[in-house]
Structure 1
């Protein structure tokens, strides 16, 4: 029996990886192998029945190039539309892609490139301006027609008020579409969002479904055919514009204080966000791994929530939309690593910020006092915990 190659050469190949002794790691590898075995078996059966070769059975898969710090909508897109994801894993130092790595994954099957204006982990903006320049050069050299989509779900109502941010929108020739969410940072009700196209011709006519049985003609572009009340949409848009002005005053906020860990001289936190300008209004950090603390950032999240503060804790890994394997989020950080994030919304007052700092100090003091006892106390809960990114 001839060996059938995997559909995506980028996907991790367990044959080339060391076998882990961790039960969770082994379970993931077994899950991946079973998934691939099922696909290969189905493919072989079809080849034998139809007399076609492997390439004819699988056909040509288009691909999309983007950062692995994507949101859930892209996972749905890859699954529903049979598009191959090609991910770039940034470094934990920069937390954003670079043009060289993105361009290296493009070929004649690439249908587009995605730049994220404000990832939900650290708030960094992908350098849309650099990607645009690199795409202009690549398209000219190769004769491609690869365009840029800007995923501004988080930064669409932030970046326009930051004059220090270079051109990232339709001022760049390769930007063909931009998406934005109105409900980020508490500025509107959930479900308010838009996709704006550079030209009407960029939105293919065959994507829309014309419906006439609901009283008049209407075009539907949604997958679930939800039909929003027009009044609801207009009210949300007006609310968005008003609240964005309130958000502006919080762009110049302070970092969470980097307390030194007693007796070591080492910093308590490693700051991961992009500073006070040209990024989302978030504070992202992780407990300093050099301290080898008996608790993680997710433990810290749970403990702090007892003081009525919710600070998002994340594992620095993601599930590949196709292979279902858990992969490291960064190219220089193990997938067992964790971090936390504070989102600065328009209702954060100085009094609230001071209380947060006070509760952070008290929570860490309590966790430190338990030492290794904290690890044993919460061992069962940590084994059962499988955090998700939202």
Structure 2
């Protein structure tokens, strides 16, 4: 066994430093001290600000840059309290881990990631079956970066099919048009503008539930119509557009004229809601069960329950995707058939989509969507129970008949055991509401925008905006109920909405900037209006947010 001598480390280090080792005239070793002890202990702490619009000459420690960006981003709204967005803000830990493990994978690299591509194919197959692809049809589809890209692809396929049909008959193919309602999301209008298609945007009305009016469809189609965009879930009010009714109108038009006009269903949100809920799309068919529906898109990052970055489009059969639009790419040793507006795209989202489909299964998705609709109904009934608000959305109204505004909390029916969405008007779990006519007459100085701003001060993001053109004199507040809206969180949301409204009443519509935040449950001063004739307990007026909504639970 060899012998070892004791070494004095301090003496050794001192000797090495004293040696002044050099290389090329430059000292190799010199005594160094730690540049900073904490992420805040650098020059960015108080001496200079972080560079914003020019790259700095010298970098900064990683932990410092991380902490600075982390702190600045805390000024953003809280995603879970962002009730303006349909986009998913929650994923299960296992799904999040899968996404993190696969963030570096590019969906465009087919040959390098064969397992991921197999998962992509499985998702297409599952969605095709979910949306009613018939036996014998060869459905084809692709993941996209979202519904916007998917809508553009669906529109391009309809335009190319129309052009090929017209040219084969020697007819003019230079003036294509497409129909959509004025409630259409901007992506549909973008398709028309970007790809030189006349957008025939049909007005909506209260009678048509602020969605595409079937009566106007037949009046606006002609031989140059490449298709009709029908929306399964309007972003304004959550109403489903009547796909089957529009399909029948187009069937009758074809019988008279011989002109075959297809339907593309924009199911950005409804594609992951209608198939799972007991209400479905309200009874009528909406998917590939209708022969006239040639393509459907959806957003995996909405009610598909994946973080932002994935959409889907499926054609009922490969014959409806013109070969001219499909590119065959020879790339990195493999061959890929591609139809998309961009090349590289994240693959992790596709993997997580498959995880959700397999992990949750049909019953799991049904439970989540039914819960979302139940909470949306509770919010709707609670708002109308105050008599201050009326809902423009209708998912809380019994299917047998649409009732008027509920006069008071005692008239609101509690959810009975076994009740499902099938008992109510079908739609997305969206609550669109406005100040009631009676309230506006009593308090004309109170604006809905003030409610939105005061809710933002309490960290809730609830947009206030006008309905589509021709109905834009009416403004609505809108809440999108997502998976992460628990009953407990909903309870606080209702309390805060009532508290904010009553604060405005107490202040007689004072400037928002002059109002101070009051905690929910704080006893306020009784107003002299009929809206504030509230119960008195122990000589103290009880505010409505203390529990009026609990009577409708």
- Asked whether the two chains share a fold, i.e. TM above 0.5, the reply is yes
2:445 and 2:192 map into 1 onto residues whose CA distance is 38
Secondary structure in 2 aligned to 1:65?
strand
Q: 1:374 to 1:368 in 2, by over 3 A?
A: farther
Residues 73-82 or 108-117, more deviating: 73-82
TM-fit CA distance, 1:275: 1.9
**Aligned pair partner of 1:284 in 432, 439, 445:** 432
Match of 2:352 in 1: 235
TM-fit CA distance, 1:376: 9.6
Residues 109-118 or 182-191, more deviating: 182-191
Bigger RCO of structures 1 and 2 (CA < 8 A, at least 6 apart): 2
Match of 1:196 in 2: 314
Q: 1:232 to 1:184 in 2, by over 3 A?
A: closer
TM-fit CA distance, 1:208: 2.0
RMSD over equivalenced CA pairs, Å: 2.5
1:321-362 Cα shifts (integer Å, max 9, x gaps): xxxxxxx1xx3x3x3431111111122222111111110111
Match of 1:367 in 2: 504
**Aligned pair partner of 1:83 in 197, 200, 211:** 197
TM-fit CA distance, 1:213: 3.0
Q: 1:299 to 1:234 in 2, by over 3 A?
A: same
Matches within 5 A, 1:307-318: 307-317=458-468
Please say if residues 121 and 284 of structure 1, whose CA atoms lie closer than 8 Å, have aligned partners that are also in contact.
yes
TM-fit CA distance, 1:130: 0.4
1:211 and 1:247 map into 2 onto residues whose CA distance is 40
Gaps of 5+ in 2: 1-171, 397-423, 516-553
1:369 and 1:186 map into 2 onto residues whose CA distance is 43
2:512 and 2:437 map into 1 onto residues whose CA distance is 15
Match of 1:9 in 2: none
Q: 1:232 to 1:347 in 2, by over 3 A?
A: closer
Please say if residues 185 and 344 of structure 1, whose CA atoms lie closer than 8 Å, have aligned partners that are also in contact.
no
Q: 1:226 to 1:256 in 2, by over 3 A?
A: farther
Q: Looking at CA atoms only, which structure, 1 or 2, has the larger radius of gyration?
A: 2
Match of 2:382 in 1: 257
Please say if residues 68 and 87 of structure 1, whose CA atoms lie closer than 8 Å, have aligned partners that are also in contact.
yes
1:116 and 1:59 map into 2 onto residues whose CA distance is 26
Match of 2:88 in 1: none
Secondary structure in 2 aligned to 1:365?
helix
Aligned residue pairs: how many? Answer: 301
Secondary structure in 1 aligned to 2:308?
coil
1:98 and 1:125 map into 2 onto residues whose CA distance is 12
Match of 2:14 in 1: none
Match of 1:205 in 2: 323
Please say if residues 311 and 342 of structure 1, whose CA atoms lie closer than 8 Å, have aligned partners that are also in contact.
yes
TM-fit CA distance, 1:272: 0.6
1:182 correspondence with 2:300:
yes
**Aligned pair partner of 1:244 in 336, 343, 365:** 365
1:127 correspondence with 2:247:
no
Secondary structure in 2 aligned to 1:159?
coil
